[in-house]
Amino acid sequence: MSEQLWTAVDDYLEAHFMPADPALEHVLQTTLDAGLPPHLAVSSLQGKFLQMLAQIHGAKKILEIGTLAGYSTIWLARALPQDGRLISLEAVPTNVTLARKNIEFAGLSHLVEIHAGKALDIFPEIEQSGIAPFDFIFIDADKSGYKDYVDWALKLSRPGTVIILDNVIRGGGIVNFDNNTRTMTGLREYFEHLAQQKKLTSTTLQTVGCKGHDGFTLAVVL
Contacting positions for ligand DHB (CB under 6 A): 40, 140, 166-167
**Of residues 65 and 221, the one with the C-beta less far from ligand SAH:** 65
Nearer to Mg ion, 109 or 204 (CB): 204
108 binds, among ligand SAH, Mg ion, ligand DHB, none (CB under 5 to 8 A by kind): none
Quick one: which of 109, 50, 63, 110 has its CA closest to 89? Answer: 63
Selected binder of ligand SAH within 24, 59, 71, 152 (CB under 6 A): 71
Residues contacting residue 4 through CB under 8 Å, at least 6 positions apart? none
Among the candidate windows 52-60, 138-146, 157-165, 205-213, which touches ligand SAH by CB under 6 A?
138-146
Q: Taking the complex as a whole, how short is the minimal distance between the CB of residue 158 and ligand DHB, in angstroms?
A: 26
- Write down the least CB distance from residue 126 to ligand DHB, Å: 21
Spatial contact of 7 and 209, defined as CB atoms under 8 Å apart: yes
If one asks whether residue 139 binds ligand SAH (CB under 6 A), the answer comes out as no
Q: How far is the CB of 46 from Mg ion (least distance, A)?
A: 8
Residue 54 in the binding site for ligand SAH (CB under 6 A): no
Under 8 Å between Cβ of 24 and 48: no
Judged by CB under 6 A, does residue 42 bind ligand SAH? Answer: yes
Burial 126-159 (b: 16+ CB within 10 A, else e): beeeeebebbbbbbbbebbbbbbbbebbbebbee
Residue whose CB is less far from ligand SAH, 145 or 173:
145
Identify whether the C-beta of residue 135 lies closer than 8 Å to the C-beta of residue 145: no
> Binding residues for Mg ion, per CB under 5 A?
140, 166-167
Q: What's the length of the chain?
A: 222
End-to-end CA distance of the chain: 42
CB of 220 to ligand SAH, least distance (A): 21
- Residue closest to ligand SAH when measured from CB atoms: 66
CA-CA distance, 33 to 45, in Å (whole number)?
A: 23
Using an 8 Å Cβ cutoff, are 163 and 220 in contact? yes
Residues 76-135 that bind ligand SAH (CB under 6 A): 89-92, 95, 118-119
Residue 212's CB is within 10 A of a number of other CB atoms, namely 16
Q: Which residues bind ligand SAH (CB under 6 A)?
A: 40-42, 65-66, 68, 71-72, 89-92, 95, 118-119, 140-142, 145
